[in-house]
Amino acid sequence: MKLYGITTCDTVRKARRWLDQQGIDHHYHDLRKDGIDADTISHWLTRLPADQLLNRRSTTWKQLDPQVRDNLQDADLPALLAAHPTLIKRPVLDTGTELSTGFNDAAWLTLTGNSSRAGKP
């Protein structure tokens, strides 16, 4: 299981803490420090719609040149997200079979196969 995020993101910190508390073995990949390649993002886009991966509310999105924002095509998205990983909705959880963005502990219980631990510390 792999968790992608940015260390300074509160939601990512919450998700990492939750995974640790649940005893779920995972590898953390820091998008800012470790980067991400366009091929990985292209693969993600076969598993998730673009609107679930692109964070249009991020500061990075707001700071992009309006020409880039207004003329963004699906084919351009992998390169844009690889160049600006803070545009990716965080965290991204890849269980190997499922891919999810954002953190929701109830949904993650099912995604991680830990639903039998619901409500247990």
pLDDT per residue as tens digits for the range 22-79: 999 999 999 999 999 999 999 999 999 999 999 999 999 999 999 999 999 999 999 9
**Residue range 82-95, pLDDT digits in tens:** 999 999 999 999 99
Residue 9: inside a domain: yes
User: Any catalytic annotation for residue 17?
Assistant: no
Question: What is the domain count for the chain?
Answer: 1
Residue 121: inside a domain: no
- Residue 115 has what pLDDT? 58
Write down the catalytic residue from 1, 2, 7, 9: 9
- Whether the bond between 91 and the residue before it is cis, its omega within 30 degrees of 0, is yes
Residue 119: inside a domain: no
Long-range pairs, 101-106, Cβ under 8 A, ≥24: 101/48, 101/52, 101/53, 102/11, 103/11, 103/12, 103/14, 103/15, 103/18, 105/18
- 43: containing domain: 2-114
Read off the CATH number of the domain in which 26 is found.
Answer: 3.40.30.10
- In this predicted structure, the answer to whether residue 118 has a pLDDT above a threshold of 50 is no
